[in-house]
Amino acid sequence: MSMTRMRCVPLFVAAVLTLAGSRVQAALPEFTQLVKDVSPSIVNISTTQKVRERQMFPGMPLDPNDPRSEFFRRFFGQPPGGQQRQARSLGSGFVISSDGTILTNAHVVKDADEILVKLSDHREEQAELVGLDERTDVAVLRIKAKGLPVVKIGDSDRLEVGEWVLAIGSPFGLEYTATAGIVSAVGRTLPSDAYVPFIQTDAAVNPGNSGGPLFNTQGQVIGINSQIYSRTGGSVGLSFAIPIKVAIRAAQQIQKSGHASHGYLGVTVQPVTPTLAQSFGLDRPRGALVADVTPKGPAAKAGLGAGDVILAFNGVPLVDAGDLPPLVGSADVGAKVSLRVLRDGKERTLQATVGALPNSDVVASPGAGRSEPAQGGPLKLAVVDLDELQRQQLEVPKGGVLVVAVGDGPAARAGLARGDVIMRVGDDVVKNASHFKALTGKLAAGRVVPLLVQRRGNPLFLALTVPKD
């Protein structure tokens, strides 16, 4: 009896393992048919651009008939004034309408003198640039062709981490290369592209894949491959795609008016650290801390101020400060939105009208402060009043104190540095050095207080812990 049971155990385990293995095998996607179905709608893009080479000997004549030009051509391979050459680049794209409308990355075709599109049937067509939007890195092309196969557009908002995805493009010029992976993260904000909530994947994407589609297992485009993170120039499993919802919105605006518009609030925000959360009375780090508000901008008109913590934008909770720019950027210009903010430890709701994002942002250029020895004190911090020249250089019209030295102590641990201008201590606006000394002198020991600092032209909140000794 016991022998029979002993023999059954391995058979049972083997059956379980076989069943488990079949489930794993069944869960793996099969991309063969998908690649066949979608490849006809994918294109290769090559561009040429005239680039003037750097002069070897600036100031020398450019006339090719000059005898000295022949000397430099013979011995150095080029005339002294430099010459034009054609720079070429490769990328990918995909057809979104049968009349020849194509989506790709803006950086693939920007400043190109000629754009050539190669179709899956090996036809080559000259492309017209309808328009591009550098903020979302989306460009719309058009070729003179009819009856083209088009991609199916998916819903990038429903994408989840762990889903299988397929990328097709021309890495290093190798046409119609298919690579697969999973979604590593969604809503990823990159420092240089705050208005795009990128899809992060581990699919092998390399130079030449830019502008190509990212598919889900249903054969629907859910993103445009745009960037990679790499120390070598090749794939290391960190690639980023523009959500197709963001791309289509920009493309529709480009087709309608030649350019894309983005929502604008007129605020500078920063992350809420654990110490800042404590100083503002938050239960945990969350939301976007307002460091500065543009005068007469939409946020200022709504009553938003520095020191407010935006907890939700139009009903969408903000986990981090990076969640806000994509939400604002995707909002329609002129739309009415609600802002749930924390101010003075209490939550309130403000109403704002979304403005249009300006074409460029002006950043102040700070000057250097006077060098003075540290004055010690419990904060280990030395500050002085700003003179008129410093106010002009730092664009601080009134108030504030200039940090001239930071010792080893609470100020350094808070992150203060020489050259910072302290504008506020808690809710109090700093008038001058003596006022700053009075404000900090009456702070309770052990309290964590937010300091509003201007650093290199940018506002920043720092959390200062008052020493107990």
Ranges assigned E (strand) in 368-447: 381-384, 401-406, 421-425, 428-429
Please give the structure tokens belonging to residue 177. Answer: 């290369």
Cα–Cα distance measured from residue 85 to residue 459, given in angstroms and rounded to the nearest whole number: 44
Q: Annotated catalytic, 323?
A: no
The C-alpha atoms of residue 53 and residue 71 are separated, in whole angstroms, by 18
CA distance 459 to 469: 30
C-alpha 446/C-alpha 207 separation (Å) is 53
Q: Give strand ranges (E) for 253-380.
A: 263-264, 267-271, 288-293, 309-313, 316-317, 336-343, 346-353, 355-356
Q: How many helices (H) and strands (E) does the chain have?
A: 11, 27
For 306, the 3-state DSSP assignment is: coil
Residue type, 189: T
Residue 24 Cα distances to 17, 29, 161, 166, 357, angstroms: 10, 10, 18, 19, 48
CA 421 to chain centroid: 28
Q: What stretches of 190-317 show up as alpha helix (H) in DSSP?
A: 244-257, 274-280, 298-302
178 φ/ψ angles, rounded to the nearest 5 degrees? -105, 130
Q: Which tokens in the block code for residue 418?
A: 């020489």
Which helix (H) or strand (E) is 2 found in, with range?
helix 2-27
3-class secondary-structure state, position 63: coil
Say if residues 325 and 271 touch (Cβ distance below 8 Å).
Answer: no
Candidates 107, 320, 385, 435; catalytic one: 107
Of 41, 69, 137, 239, which is the active-site residue? 137
Choose, from 69, 210, 235, 330, the residue flagged as catalytic.
210
Show the tokens assigned to 51: 């680039």
Q: Which residues sit opposite 51 in a β-bridge?
A: 85
93 close to 42: Cβ distance less than 8 angstroms: yes
- β-bridge pairing 124-133 and 114-118: antiparallel
Report how far residue 54's alpha carbon sits from residue 340's, in angstroms, rounded to the nearest whole number.
54
Task: Judge whether 344 counts as a catalytic residue.
Answer: no
**Residue 356 backbone class (left: φ over 0; alpha: ψ -120 to 50; beta: rest):** beta
| Active centre residues (catalytic) | 107, 137, 210
